[in-house]
Structure 1
């Protein structure tokens, strides 16, 4: 939690940007697992509510009446039965005072806010809910069916939140650096434990434990798999095999809920084969090329395609691709190997603000998503970079057997792909290298004081010595 003044300043700026009306920001509720009292899923407050109110308690909402310049924290105090099981907590009034909010109200009075606004023809600004309990509450308050709530959400509020949360302040950058430090511990722990015979599940569990030990939790479900060609390959009970590659994509959340997101791919036996090195060196070069290209004023879509161009040229040298590179990119041939975008915004959410719809976060009136091309349609961030943005840099090369079969059968992009050669890589898996970029005044830098090893010689040396 930051200082009271931070939240006051944020709410004042939000009021200035939205202009008029009433803003209602819903916090989250508890999410039980397989029966009501089994709170297996750790409580995670809504990030936008946290950004403006900073309070880590379930069952709250924030009401900001812009015209009356009145702020209210809405929620019910915890009753004695809950105190018996979970201990005493601050009252709603004390919580409000801790972040500079003068007024409080019980949750039942939130209905009056909506009813009075409707009667007076005033606008109530809210964001599109992503949890079903909040969708149902909004349905009760407004009569708007959950299927129509996204369309009725306030675009003025969405744009204001995106504008504010996109540019990270110094205290946010310091928090992101703390997340990077936890991420370093997670990934180097995975590297130390990786060897033939150990299960993916065991290493994934150890990685998750690091995140929980040093921060709030993992920033997303940990990916650890010998099948790197599966984008979201969660750890299985499969044992690691000599000669295979292991891909670890994992991140942490700090106590204040700022995220890290890194990926490393390394040999189970500690030594890359020549064939693995050939592909790995291309991904390594692409990863480093983004660091040279990304800077304020440059579209991240252009950084993405600069990386794709380098990748395709290098794949042509190996005989996996052919033809004019620019024509190949226009046709989408690169998506055979890289079926996702170069990166995404990151902050309090690992895919920052994605709940507000990615088109509102990663794109703008100038830069629109390309939705009709496989692979490119998965680009989450395309707009011009600004100082203070944090984006991920995560190129990869994947050999996905089903995709190879599909494109080969249809002849898709056959003029740019050597399918006979690609066929021989069906057992390869996939490689991804990912770090988090802070856009600075004159370029960019990686977050994190300690670099998780990723150059091949550094990876091999680390695994040999640890």
Structure 2
């Protein structure tokens, strides 16, 4: 995306295709690696707004991008499992395309761009695939359920596919498992996305002033990631919760569009992540709007920071992600007990799952081409836990080297959860009523980092560039307040440039 951004080699995708071939060649089902077996993937298509002709900014289907790196819509791709021969199929564009959309790129130019064996037109797909499969070969197509969204993957289809033998039962789990473990080249892109986002979060911390709108701070983040990092897409709908909104876990949606005015003394919870070359980041920073933590804000912030650091110290291959979630709960409850917000024996608190009252979401999730990346509950791995909080975990797997995840403990004061706990004698006996009342309306704190599991621990993909301690945050925000970056009381005519 320019000299100031990361150059991504097409060998990233060639390595991914080779990893997939290796898995399929070792598959117990002989169809996966028989002569004439060909993986066929379909890329995403352009879409418009309902019945209008205004187009959405195109985003490639992620399995297709993982394998080929093609950024244009309407393509197909094929991989011969035995030989590795790779053929891409592009649309045959009409002459008038050059008038409205720009020069028409030839198949040979695309072949050089994407570094594959051949590029053909889609109207040739049936003949080309027959040449690859022969009369007795099989097309492996992608069909499976995303365990986060519940949606079914895009399965390749084209006019004439009915004349081929098709198997859609093998490919999904093998591709998803490949995507769980990142290559060095993929980690380079994920690091870049994380560090661009970290820099944008720092910019927001420097420029925030009470009286601004939440969406103005979202705009600062988006501007920074696109202008400085070439990140045209955000990885998800940004969450910019201030004050009580910081307790709304997925704030920022159409019904609550980051529209509140930030108040002096508010705690802010900003969960924002940019996407670069389809690879995502997911970072949350919590901080006081005016740059100085109150004593109560310090209590909650440090409780969450202690949970984050305890998990980071414990992460390594062979560790259960469910146990990491449990460790976060225990560490946070210990800090809340020390502050007099809860009371009693920690073991007994854990038995009644008190942590889920304050943190109803999971500790984190796999991260990659999707912000909630695939592979969380593939067949053969631990199933989803049933207890509150634990059932929101997006994976229950044992950690392995090369997995990329978020670590995002949080502590929130959500009225209906507090009311349920106070009405539940098993949990109510641990809550200090006066303290709970004091924190109603407080909002919440979340601290989220992107990490990769290494051979002996973990690496923070942001490179430790985000201020995390109370002292680091206050120092950065004090520096930002020396600059006159925003005056919220501008007159209307000044805003309009008159």
TM-score scaled to structure 2, two decimals?
0.81
Aligned match for 2:194, one of 180, 185, 190: 180
Q: Contact conserved, 2:142 with 2:156, CA < 8 A, in 1?
A: no
Q: Contact conserved, 2:280 with 2:367, CA < 8 A, in 1?
A: yes
Q: How does 1:158-237 map to 2 (within 5 A)?
A: 158-213=172-227, 214-216=229-231, 217-226=233-242, 227-234=245-252, 235-237=257-259
Which residue of structure 2 lines up, in the alignment, with residue 333 of structure 1?
354
Which residue of structure 1 lines up, in the alignment, with residue 496 of structure 2?
none
Cα 1:44/1:290, change in 2 over 3 Å:
same
Distance 1:193 1:346 in 2: 28
**Secondary structure of the structure 2 residue equivalent to 1:73:** strand
Q: How does 1:186-335 map to 2 (within 5 A)?
A: 186-213=200-227, 214-216=229-231, 217-226=233-242, 227-234=245-252, 235-254=257-276, 256-335=277-356
Cα 1:394/1:141, change in 2 over 3 Å:
farther
Which piece of structure 1 moves more, 126-135 or 48-57?
A: 126-135
Spell out, residue by residue over 1:144-186, the C-alpha distance to the aligned partner (whole angstroms, 9 max, x if none). xxxxxxxx99453233223322222222222222112211221
Distance 1:291 1:109 in 2: 52
Which residue of structure 1 lines up, in the alignment, with residue 369 of structure 2?
348
Distance 1:11 1:121 in 2: 19
Cα 1:63/1:137, change in 2 over 3 Å:
closer
Distance 1:12 1:133 in 2: 25
Cα 1:259/1:6, change in 2 over 3 Å:
closer
Q: How does 1:59-138 map to 2 (within 5 A)?
A: 59-66=74-81, 70-108=85-123, 122=138, 124-128=140-144, 138=157
Distance 2:346 2:413 in 1: 19
Unaligned runs of 5+ in 1: 144-151
Unaligned runs of 5+ in 2: 1-6, 26-31, 481-498
Cα 1:401/1:153, change in 2 over 3 Å:
farther
Which residue of structure 2 lines up, in the alignment, with residue 43 of structure 1?
58
Distance 1:332 1:141 in 2: 55
**Shift in Å, 1:100:** 3.9
Cα 1:330/1:368, change in 2 over 3 Å:
farther
Cα 1:139/1:375, change in 2 over 3 Å:
farther
Distance 1:274 1:447 in 2: 31
Bigger Rg, which one: 2
Q: Contact conserved, 2:316 with 2:453, CA < 8 A, in 1?
A: yes
**Secondary structure of the structure 1 residue equivalent to 2:15:** helix
Name the count of aligned residue pairs: 448
Which residue of structure 2 lines up, in the alignment, with residue 365 of structure 1?
380
**Shift in Å, 1:57:** 0.7
Which residue of structure 1 lines up, in the alignment, with residue 13 of structure 2?
7
**Shift in Å, 1:200:** 0.6
Spell out, residue by residue over 1:172-227, the C-alpha distance to the aligned partner (whole angstroms, 9 max, x if none). 22222211221122101211221211111111112112222222322211111111
RMSD over equivalenced CA pairs, Å: 3.1
Distance 2:143 2:330 in 1: 38
**Shift in Å, 1:237:** 2.5
**Secondary structure of the structure 2 residue equivalent to 1:413:** helix
**Secondary structure of the structure 2 residue equivalent to 1:309:** helix
Cα 1:89/1:232, change in 2 over 3 Å:
farther
Q: Contact conserved, 1:129 with 1:135, CA < 8 A, in 2?
A: no
Distance 1:427 1:330 in 2: 27
**Shift in Å, 1:411:** 4.9
Distance 1:203 1:185 in 2: 14
Which residue of structure 1 lines up, in the alignment, with residue 492 of structure 2?
none
Which piece of structure 1 moves more, 63-72 or 306-315?
A: 63-72
Cα 1:37/1:159, change in 2 over 3 Å:
same
Which residue of structure 1 lines up, in the alignment, with residue 485 of structure 2?
none
**Shift in Å, 1:337:** 0.4
Distance 2:84 2:305 in 1: 52
Spell out, residue by residue over 1:367-410, the C-alpha distance to the aligned partner (whole angstroms, 9 max, x if none). 3220x222111111331222222211111100111222234345
1:408 and 2:422 correspond: yes
**Shift in Å, 1:88:** 1.5
Q: Contact conserved, 1:26 with 1:134, CA < 8 A, in 2?
A: no
Distance 1:225 1:28 in 2: 33
**Secondary structure of the structure 2 residue equivalent to 1:18:** helix
Which residue of structure 1 lines up, in the alignment, with residue 488 of structure 2?
none
Cα 1:129/1:298, change in 2 over 3 Å:
closer
**Secondary structure of the structure 1 residue equivalent to 2:377:** helix
Q: How does 1:368-383 map to 2 (within 5 A)?
A: 368-370=383-385, 372-383=386-397
Distance 1:297 1:162 in 2: 20
Cα 1:136/1:384, change in 2 over 3 Å:
closer
Which residue of structure 1 lines up, in the alignment, with residue 478 of structure 2?
464
**Shift in Å, 1:318:** 2.8
**Shift in Å, 1:82:** 2.5
